[in-house]
């Protein structure tokens, strides 16, 4: 039996060493009980033509959120760092001297990935500065820029948690990341639940189970489902647990339609500014006869991809991919156009996309596939391009920012590991750069899939420390 084990050990060792894997790296895998078949590693000095480490370099694997590297790089290459999303406002008639618009106000969604309450407020203030105070008609929301199938609009498809903020589905008029804020206020018995802003045709069915104890662990696990009737009224069923030690809480939930969320926030802010209108909110295409009156601009793409990569924002990245589809192949943007736009942009940059599967662009998918060699080639080439500095600034920095802010804090690796992380069930991934003690810069991509994926995170740590000494 012992002889067979020796033979097996030698066979595994030879299998690993058949590719470019230093003995130190092979030892990391063995020590952490990570099967070589479950992990791919690529390490290459920026100035080198060949990799220092190549383990399963061309094997296609699920990248989790590392997929955002593909989408954000394509966005930067296609649109440029200064690109800004537009939200356009039109009216049936220009305002008179009293600020009255006879007819409708049209809001044309441009797919801005970071349209939050503060930015919408600024736009509405500017709208009043150009003379609009009262609208005799409706607030018409034009969401024609994107077209998704019913299946693609299903926020429950990934893990059955449609209310979770990370599962938000893109929309041309997405505001506050398509979430509504539920304030949870302690009181005798069950806590009070309040929506901000108030959505008048929604009622809340509070089914939270109250228990004594601290808020940690499973102390606070709210979930919500929206049930509508045929008259447009809705009941928000809130379930889960609330521990008495939780106190006041704010919860972001993905519920309802994006246009509905936009309208109620618009109404709340417009009234707050002293504006008024006679009609209601509705969704329709802007007529060709409407007159343009104002354009609101987003922050530039350079700042937007920082939010996408550093904080691993899924819906923002998905918005970018749909924008790429609309800009590359004309509106309306679709998921298929977005996928093709990312692919053709990467290919034009010289990246071999053979076998690569691009799904929704965020990595929140079990379908996306990419090899560490493909990712490493992209990272090396963009580093050396005129977009290199902008792209590097979009990534998390060890011990300092984003998803790496807590890793290697106070260690020599702090500030030297820069990249994008990825984590879903049975996937642990990293794509980025390591600056060694010598000052040499390396591209590093590690993707672990399968049962030993969790342990591959430790392999990442040891690999970075080893590389620091190279």
Contact 211, 221 (CB under 8 A): no
Q: What is the mean pLDDT of the chain?
A: 93
d(CA 235, CA 239): 13
Mind giving me the DSSP string for 169-214?
Answer: PP-TT--GGG-EEEEEE--SSSPEEEEES--TTEEEEE-PEEESS-
Burial class (CB in 10 A: 0-12, 13-18, 19+), 175: buried
Nearest to 141 by CA among 257, 235, 272: 257
Domains in the chain (CATH in brackets) are: 19-82+301-468 (3.40.710.10), 84-173+258-299 (3.50.80.20), 180-253 (no CATH)
Which of 85-99, 232-246, 456-470 has the weakest average pLDDT?
A: 232-246
d(CA 443, CA 376): 6
Write down the pLDDT at residue 200: 77
Element (H, E) at 260: helix 258-272
Q: Is the pLDDT of residue 347 over 50?
A: yes
Write down the pLDDT at residue 19: 59
Check the CA dihedral 140-85-164-364 and report its sign.
positive
pLDDT band at 8 (very low <50, low <70, confident <90, very high): very low
Q: Is the pLDDT of residue 289 over 70?
A: yes
Write down the pLDDT at residue 164: 87
DSSP letter for 61, please.
Answer: B
For the question of whether the overall pTM of this predicted structure is more than 0.85, the answer is yes
Q: What whole-number percentage of the chain has pLDDT above 70?
A: 96
pLDDT band at 300 (very low <50, low <70, confident <90, very high): very high
Q: Is the pLDDT of residue 20 over 90?
A: no
Write down the pLDDT at residue 217: 82
d(CA 128, CA 195): 27
Task: Identify the residue with better confidence: 15 or 158.
Answer: 158
Partners of 242 in beta bridges: 210, 220
d(CA 265, CA 198): 8
DSSP letter for 308, please.
Answer: H
Q: Is the pLDDT of residue 12 over 70?
A: no
Q: Is the pLDDT of residue 9 over 80?
A: no
Write the pLDDT tens digit of every residue in 152-181: 988 888 888 888 889 999 999 999 999 989
d(CA 319, CA 302): 15
Write down the pLDDT at residue 119: 97
For 23, residues 6+ apart whose C-beta sits below 8 A from its C-beta are: none
**Residue 430 has which token pair?**
């990293």
d(CA 318, CA 146): 11
Q: Count, in order, helices (H) and strands (E) of the chain.
A: 11, 22
Partners of 141 in beta bridges: 107, 283
For 104, residues 6+ apart whose C-beta sits below 8 A from its C-beta are: 91, 92, 135, 137, 138, 139, 140, 279, 290
Write the pLDDT tens digit of every residue in 175-202: 999 998 999 999 888 899 999 878 878 8
Contact 387, 76 (CB under 8 A): yes
Quick one: average pLDDT of 277-305? 98
DSSP letter for 313, please.
Answer: -
Helix (H, G, I), strand (E, B) or coil at 427: strand
Which of 39-43, 228-232, 325-329, 395-399 has the weakest average pLDDT?
A: 228-232
**Residue 4 has which token pair?**
């067979």
d(CA 342, CA 338): 6
Write down the pLDDT at residue 1: 43
Write down the pLDDT at residue 188: 84
Write down the pLDDT at residue 93: 98
Cβ density class 108-120: b for 16+ within 10 Å, e for less: bbbbbbbbeeebb
d(CA 466, CA 261): 50
Tokens 């063995």 belong to residue: 30
- Measured from the Cβ of residue 153, the count of other Cβ atoms closer than 10 Å reads 13
Q: Going along 69-117, which residue ranges are E strands?
A: 86-91, 100-101, 105-108
Mind giving me the DSSP string for 110-145?
Answer: ---TT--HHHHHHHHHHHHHTT--EESS-EEEE-TT
d(CA 453, CA 450): 5
């Amino acid at each position: 039996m012992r002889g067979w084990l020796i033979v097996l050990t030698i066979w595994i060792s030879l299998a690993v060493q058949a590719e470019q894997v230093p003995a130190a790296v092979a030892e990391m895998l063995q020590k952490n009980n990570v099967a070589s078949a479950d992990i791919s590693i690529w390490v290459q000095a920026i100035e080198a033509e060949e990799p220092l480490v190549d383990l399963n370099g061309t094997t296609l694997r699920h990248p989790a959120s590392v997929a955002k590297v593909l989408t954000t790089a394509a966005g930067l290459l296609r649109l440029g760092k200064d690109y800004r999303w537009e939200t356009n406002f039109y009216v049936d008639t220009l305002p008179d001297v009293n600020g009255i618009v006879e007819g409708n106000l049209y809001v044309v969604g441009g797919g801005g990935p970071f349209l939050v309450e503060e930015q919408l407020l600024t736009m509405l203030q500017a709208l009043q500065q150009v003379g609009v105070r009262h609208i005799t008609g409706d607030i018409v929301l034009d969401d024609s820029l994107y077209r998704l199938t019913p299946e693609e609009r299903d926020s429950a498809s990934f893990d059955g948690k449609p209310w979770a903020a990370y599962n938000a589905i893109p929309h041309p008029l997405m505001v506050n990341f398509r979430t509504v804020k539920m304030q949870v206020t302690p009181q005798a018995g069950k806590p009070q639940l309040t929506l901000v802003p108030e959505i008048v045709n929604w009622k809340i069915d509070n089914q939270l189970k109250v228990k004594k104890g601290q808020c940690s662990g499973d102390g606070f696990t709210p979930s919500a489902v929206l049930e509508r009737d045929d008259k447009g009224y809705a009941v928000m069923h809130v379930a889960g647990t609330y521990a008495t030690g939780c106190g006041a809480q704010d919860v972001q939930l993905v519920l309802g339609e994006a246009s509905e969320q936009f309208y109620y926030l618009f109404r709340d802010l417009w009234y707050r500014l002293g504006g008024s209108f006679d009609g209601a909110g509705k969704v329709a295409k802007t007529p060709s006869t409407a007159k343009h009156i104002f354009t609101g601009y987003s922050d530039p793409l350079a700042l937007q991809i920082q939010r996408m990569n550093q904080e691993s924002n899924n819906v923002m990245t998905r918005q970018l991919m749909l924008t790429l589809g609309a800009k590359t192949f004309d509106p309306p943007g679709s998921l298929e156009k977005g996928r093709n736009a990312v692919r053709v942009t990467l290919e034009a940059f010289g990246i071999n996309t053979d076998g690569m599967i691009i799904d929704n662009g965020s990595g929140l998918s079990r379908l996306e596939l990419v090899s560490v060699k493909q990712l490493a080639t992209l990272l090396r080439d963009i580093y050396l391009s005129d977009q290199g500095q902008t792209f590097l600034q979009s990534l998390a920095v060890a011990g300092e920012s984003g998803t790496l802010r807590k890793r290697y804090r106070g260690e020599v690796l702090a500030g030297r590991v820069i990249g994008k992380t990825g984590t879903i069930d049975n996937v642990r991934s990293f794509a980025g750069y390591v600056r060694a003690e010598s000052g040499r810069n390396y591209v590093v991509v590690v993707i672990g899939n399968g049962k030993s994926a969790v342990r591959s995170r430790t392999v990442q740590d040891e690999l970075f420390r080893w590389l620091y000494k190279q």
